[in-house]
Amino acid sequence: MKKTIKLLSIILAAGIFGISCKKSDSTPATVYYQQQDQMGRPAINTVFNAAVTDKEAFNMTTPSAMTSAFQSKFQSRLLALNAGYTTNALGQDAAALTGLLAQDVLNVSTNGTTTFFDGNPANTLSGRALADDVIDVELLLIFGGPAGTSNPTLTSDHVNANDKAFSGTFPYLASPW
């Protein structure tokens, strides 16, 4: 009798297990992924795209199509923010600067200095080191004028250092608070 009960229990458990593991006849729904954000150059989308729809479109535009889609809007916005804009510390006029910024990619120098800005036009936006103050650089290029000294109250966010030092080992980021 004990063997019969054990055997029936095993058969019942196997049946329940078999039913629960039965392959579904329905095909799972296809999931499509969509890019939602990009930020090679922080704050560019925030500053130069005023409308939410433009911000969302910018985030989902392929970098190779960004300049043609956004440069003219960026230039109009730049001139609205800084009506006296002529050239910046790199010697760029409004079209050159906004053409550069409209393509939101993070360049990397493979044979020179990797920096967001060091005053040398050849090195500018050739990458980004952790300690680069990208917001101050962007403000300087937008408001600083040819010598970088125009509008001094608009060329810095006054956040000049991290709360904690960067790590000396990969991934080099500061440890959390």
Mean pLDDT to the nearest integer, 31-49: 84
Query: pLDDT tens digits for 123-144?
Result: 788 888 888 899 999 999 999 9
What are the domain boundaries of the chain? 44-151
Percent of the chain with pLDDT over 70: 85
pLDDT band per the 50, 70, 90 thresholds, residue 9: low
The string of DSSP letters for 47-85 reads HH--SHHHHHHHHHS-HHHHHHHHHHHHHHHHHHH-TT-
pLDDT band per the 50, 70, 90 thresholds, residue 83: very high
Mean pLDDT to the nearest integer, 4-16: 56
pLDDT for position 35: 66
| pLDDT of 148 over the 80 cut | yes
pLDDT for position 161: 86
Residues 130 and 116: their CA atoms lie apart, in Å, by: 10
